[in-house]
Structure 1
Amino acid sequence: MIELIEAAKEGLTLIYGPPGAGKTSIALRIADRLANRILWVSTTEGPKYLGAAAKRVGANPEKFAFLDFPRAFREDILRYVTEHVNEYDLLVVDSVNGLSAAVPSLEKAVHSVLYQISHDKPVILVSEEEPLKLHYIADNVVHVWYKKNSIGHIIRYVQLEKSRRMPPSPRYIFEILDGKIAYLYFSSGMHTGRFVELEELGIKVPAKSVICITSSKTTKVLELLNRIKNEALFLKLGPWEAYTGLELKEGQEYQAKTFHDLFKLLDLIASRKITTKYLVVSGLLNLKDREVLDYVFYISACLNYVDYVAISEIGAPDETKRIQKFCTENIFVD
């Protein structure tokens, strides 16, 4: 998020992506961090909706002048902006596609009016597609998108793809929680150099490690999990049975029906409302290979707040090896 805000401080920023991806939420958060007087011209939503959306991402609605231009009055947008933009510190047009029917050429309108304004103050344009000509005009380009994976989780992404002032950013996974936008990114240094003896598992590993516990036999996995269950929180990535036979306490098992649920759990762990030595994760084998990395990002973030993540899976060695490559230590019991 820091890169997005830093890039948008100057010039014209284009935020594009499909409907429902979170573009407006990202734009609200960036604008709130950059200015105190914001002119927000909307061709899609009214002031009431936008005010509530601002609160939902932790932005202050009082900073914004939300103006809604119905289709019949969109030809007045550029004139209004030109006459009133000097009263504000930052301009947002959401969605800029709404101007298309009101001007002969969207690209010319953006370049001749909005891009010129961006020489004096930041301008943010939100688009429901990637107009290539606007991509070339913009000083900064932010892509916001989502996908639904094979276990039904919808995952949102945001990335600074282009900036004339700084390098592109990593791809972030993000989610909207009450009063904030939370982000995940991959940390390559998940564990430390200090080795710790884990007598309950019979291994010696670096602190902050990811441990794979796998077997082709359910009883073997449960035997190892029983050794750590009193110091563990058990997370399953879906509705299937994963920990039957462990006799867990109430609240010790957490089911993530959505990726949003994972963010809520991480927020509880980060705020110390839930504390645990081990976070045991099951269900990664139900994902396609290219989808697993999103959950590795999540595990990386969890290791900031728990001692160890234990990935628990049941399958043959040739099945579990695609998960084991993400682990510091692999325990396969047959």
Structure 2
Amino acid sequence: MFEIAEVGTRGMTLIYGPPGSGKTSIAMRLASKIDGKVLWISTAEGPDLLTETAKRLAVDPSKFNFLDFPRAFQKDIARYILDHVPSYSALVIDSVEGVAGRQNIDVVTHSVLYQVAKEKPVILVAEEETPRVAYVADHVIHVWYRINSLGHIVRYIQLEKSRTRPPSPRYMFEIIEGAGIMYIYPTPARGKGEVIEDEKLGITAPRRSIICIHSEKVKNIVDLLSKIKDRSIFLKVSYWTSFHGLEIKEDQIQIVRIFHDIYKLIYDLATNGPKASYLVVGGLLNMSEEDRKEYLLTLGIALNFVDFLLLVDVGSKEETDRLKKYCEDIIEV
């Protein structure tokens, strides 16, 4: 994510994507890294809402001068920017369509905003790609989301263009209330710790690795998990899990109702310290490969705080083999 944070502090940066994808939050976090006061021109949200957004992102609202302009006064907005931006260290416009409009957006972008960007950072937010703005911009960041098979919203961000560095990978991200934004690097986690012997599981494997536990009978899974349940956190991803019937304390089990809940779990582990040796995950088997991969990329971050990530599922060997490629070791019970 460092490449995206870096480009936002120089030249003109365009952030585009659909409504609700997180563009304003990304723009605010990037602008918060710039030294000095930032002029924030909004044609969509008022100062009160933007102040609340800043607090959610752990950003000091006093860094910004939030100004709300109706879109009907486009010419006045451009004039105001030219008159007042010299007093600020950076400029954010959300959204650029509200300042320029479709017909003259390229003229305003090039003749006004790009000239400002030669002296100080300018961040533009747009709800569509706006090719003419993207062509002029020094950096282009795409923010979007999709709704997966469980109805969970998964957010993405990617640096598509930059005059100073190559495009970035596609990252997943989420807003953590009162803390900022968490980004997930697109590399699967595998065991990197020392090799340890776990007598209760009956395995010898690298610490910080993913272990599959499979069976054709729920009872066999429950019998094995009962040996480690006091040192485990149980994560229920979908509607049914293979540890159904295991007696678990209420504070040990977490239900993923939205994708954001996984980020919250990881943040809690990172800030409050490890609470368990095992993170037991059920419900990954019966979903698409694309969805499964994204859950595992995110859950892999938890391996920084627990010894093992256990993927537990019930089914035939043909079914459970879908998870095999993600695991350092496999336990058949």
**TM-score normalised per structure 2:** 0.95
Q: Provide the C-alpha distance between the structure 1 equivalents of 2:278 and 2:237, rounded to a whole number of angstroms.
A: 16
- Contact preservation (8 Å) 1:36, 1:63: yes
**Which moves more between the two structures, 291-300 or 12-21?**
291-300
Structure 1 partner of 2:61 = 61
Map 1:215-226 → 2, pairs under 5 A: 215-226=215-226
SS of corresponding position for 1:85: helix
Deviation of the 1:100 alpha carbon: 4.1
Deviation of the 1:45 alpha carbon: 0.8
| Deviation by residue 1:181-226 (Cα, 9 ceiling, x = unmatched) | 1222244553225211111111111111100001222122222212
Letter in 2 for 1:175: E
Q: Provide the C-alpha distance between the structure 2 equivalents of 1:65 and 1:330, rounded to a whole number of angstroms.
A: 56
Match status 1:243 vs 2:243 = yes
Q: Provide the C-alpha distance between the structure 2 equivalents of 1:189 and 1:223, rounded to a whole number of angstroms.
A: 28
Deviation of the 1:309 alpha carbon: 0.3
Structure 2 partner of 1:119 = 118
- Contact preservation (8 Å) 1:239, 1:255: no
Which ranges of 4 or more aligned residues in structure 1 deviate by more than 6 Å?
none
Q: Provide the C-alpha distance between the structure 2 equivalents of 1:188 and 1:49, rounded to a whole number of angstroms.
A: 37
Letter in 2 for 1:172: Y
Map 1:126-145 → 2, pairs under 5 A: 126-145=125-144
Residues 229 and 271 from structure 1, CA distance in 2 versus in 1: closer, same or farther, beyond 3 angstroms?
same
| Deviation by residue 1:218-262 (Cα, 9 ceiling, x = unmatched) | 122222212221211110113435422211122111111011111
Map 1:242-321 → 2, pairs under 5 A: 242-272=242-272, 275-321=275-321
**CA RMSD of superposed structures (Å):** 1.6
SS of corresponding position for 1:286: coil
Q: Provide the C-alpha distance between the structure 2 equivalents of 1:132 and 1:164, rounded to a whole number of angstroms.
A: 16
Q: Provide the C-alpha distance between the structure 1 equivalents of 2:245 and 2:325, rounded to a whole number of angstroms.
A: 28
Letter in 1 for 2:122: V
Structure 2 partner of 1:165 = 164
Q: Provide the C-alpha distance between the structure 1 equivalents of 2:273 and 2:5, rounded to a whole number of angstroms.
A: 30
Letter in 2 for 1:60: D
Deviation of the 1:302 alpha carbon: 0.3
Letter in 2 for 1:157: Y
**Which moves more between the two structures, 251-260 or 238-247?**
238-247
| Deviation by residue 1:275-304 (Cα, 9 ceiling, x = unmatched) | 100000011123211111111211220001
Letter in 2 for 1:68: D
Q: Provide the aligned length of Structure 1 versus Structure 2.
A: 332
Q: Provide the C-alpha distance between the structure 2 equivalents of 1:124 and 1:254, rounded to a whole number of angstroms.
A: 38
Letter in 1 for 2:160: E
Match status 1:106 vs 2:105 = yes
> Which sections of structure 2, spanning at least 5 residues, go unmatched?
none
Residues 71 and 193 from structure 1, CA distance in 2 versus in 1: closer, same or farther, beyond 3 angstroms?
closer
Q: Provide the C-alpha distance between the structure 2 equivalents of 1:279 and 1:142, rounded to a whole number of angstroms.
A: 34
Identity of aligned residues (%): 48
SS of corresponding position for 1:41: strand
SS of corresponding position for 1:3: helix
Map 1:1-80 → 2, pairs under 5 A: 1-80=1-80
Letter in 1 for 2:289: D
Letter in 2 for 1:153: H
- Contact preservation (8 Å) 1:236, 1:242: no
Q: Provide the C-alpha distance between the structure 2 equivalents of 1:242 and 1:201, rounded to a whole number of angstroms.
A: 17
SS of corresponding position for 1:301: helix
| Deviation by residue 1:18-44 (Cα, 9 ceiling, x = unmatched) | 000010001011101113210111111
Deviation of the 1:74 alpha carbon: 2.0
Deviation of the 1:134 alpha carbon: 1.6
